Amino acid sequence: MTTEGLDYVQQKTSQVYDQMGRVVVGQEEVVRSMLVAVYCQGHALLEGVPGTAKTLMVRALARAMSLEFSRIQFTPDLMPSDVVGTNIFDLQRSQFVLRKGPVFTDLLLGDEINRSPAKTQSALLEAMQERRCTIDGQPYLLSRHFTVFATQNPIEYEGTYPLPEAQLDRFMLKVLVDYPQAAEEERILELYNQGQEPHNVESSAIEPVMTAEDLTRCQNVVKGLRMKAELVTYVRELITQTRHADDILIGAGPRGGIHLLLASKATAAFAGRDYVTPDDIQLMVFPTLRHRIVLQPEAEANGLTRDDVLRSILQRVPVPR
């Protein structure tokens, strides 16, 4: 790992932050998590109430990174072919031709993903895991930068279909998008009061500051970081504890540990370090594991949240020195 590579990641990451900041007010932690997902070639589930700029952040990120953007509005009548595409018969050419679905892109926004039944949701499983999809028995490769950002509303459950555990596990991160701080919300209102339209990304002042080649280089730098053996053990012990904690019915699987390890590397690279610290791991425990554990009914009845239980696990597991 060279200092030049880490400086490059820091420089490009800072540029993306600056460009997104032209239309996105606040939400620095959410933006950082989104960059972690892209740099680690993972996917992220964004959970928050309507109007908290989830769609805006994904569109702004795509523009700043010069990546192709597509959107799927998940509804109860959406079919799997609406997601991946289908073969249609061309009368002029007397043959079937592929009409590609929205998954043939770089950044895919799955808006309100829990509005569609499991059959449609599962159409994304192969794409998210293998970056390819199968249409009429024929496999098609997707973009190497294919990343899914799915959104869901945490408070509205009527007419929704909870994501299956297998699909939840495909998401590297579950990011909670909260309300803006008072000063941030005042800034948002002031922008609109001045006649600006921050949500109009296409006509905004965001400039592309990365290319696909730049992103590949950043991904290789993150992948090239090495974690000390005792920190790898620390990650493994945290994952193991989720399987034995009294308040947890189902713990995290091996993929959870892999994603925690990779996310910690990205966090270290953002800080310009070629080594991972326990703080990096602890910071990423919540977004990487909160959607992978299922609490005991008694724990939920007592008002415990998944983050509460993960916090107690962090307090119990010895931190390597």
Is residue 164 domain-shared with residue 243, that is, in the same domain?
no
Which residue would you say has higher pLDDT here, 321 or 199?
321
Q: Which residue range forms the structural domain that includes residue 244?
A: 225-316
Is residue 232 domain-shared with residue 205, that is, in the same domain?
no
Is residue 114 domain-shared with residue 139, that is, in the same domain?
yes
Examine the pLDDT at 90 and tell me if it is beyond 80. no
Mean predicted confidence (pLDDT) in 292-319? 91
Is residue 201 domain-shared with residue 231, that is, in the same domain?
no
Classified as helix, coil or strand, 145 is coil
φ and ψ at residue 197, rounded to 5 degrees: -125, 80
- For 147-200, write each residue's pLDDT tens digit: 999 998 876 665 567 777 777 888 999 999 888 889 988 888 887 887 776 666
CATH number of the domain residue 275 falls in: 1.10.8.80
Min mean pLDDT across 46-60, 87-101, 217-231, 234-248 is at 87-101
Tell how many helices (H) and how many strands (E) occur in the chain.
14, 11
Cβ–Cβ under 8 Å, residues 9 and 218: yes
Residue 89 lies in a domain: no
Residue 96 lies in a domain: no
pLDDT of residue 159: 56
Cβ–Cβ under 8 Å, residues 89 and 231: no
Is residue 229 domain-shared with residue 127, that is, in the same domain?
no
- The whole model's pTM is what? 0.88
Task: Name the pLDDT band for 126 (thresholds 50, 70, 90).
Answer: confident
Is residue 41 domain-shared with residue 173, that is, in the same domain?
yes
Residue that is last in its domain, among 198, 219, 240: 219
- For 253-300, write each residue's pLDDT tens digit: 999 999 999 999 999 999 888 889 999 999 999 999 999 988 899 988
Residue that is last in its domain, among 219, 234, 259: 219
Long-range contacts of 153-161 (CB under 8 A, 24+ apart): 153/47, 153/48, 153/49, 153/50, 153/112, 153/114, 154/47, 154/48, 154/49, 155/49, 159/76, 159/115, 160/114, 160/115, 161/114, 161/115, 161/116, 161/117, 161/118, 161/121
Task: Name the pLDDT band for 51 (thresholds 50, 70, 90).
Answer: confident
The dihedral region occupied by 207, where left means phi > 0, alpha psi between -120 and 50, and beta the remainder, is beta
Q: Return d(Cα 242, Cα 237) in angstroms, integer.
A: 9
Q: Based on the structure, what is the number of domains in the chain?
A: 2
Residue 23 lies in a domain: yes
Residue 129 lies in a domain: yes
pLDDT of residue 165: 77
Residue 213 lies in a domain: yes
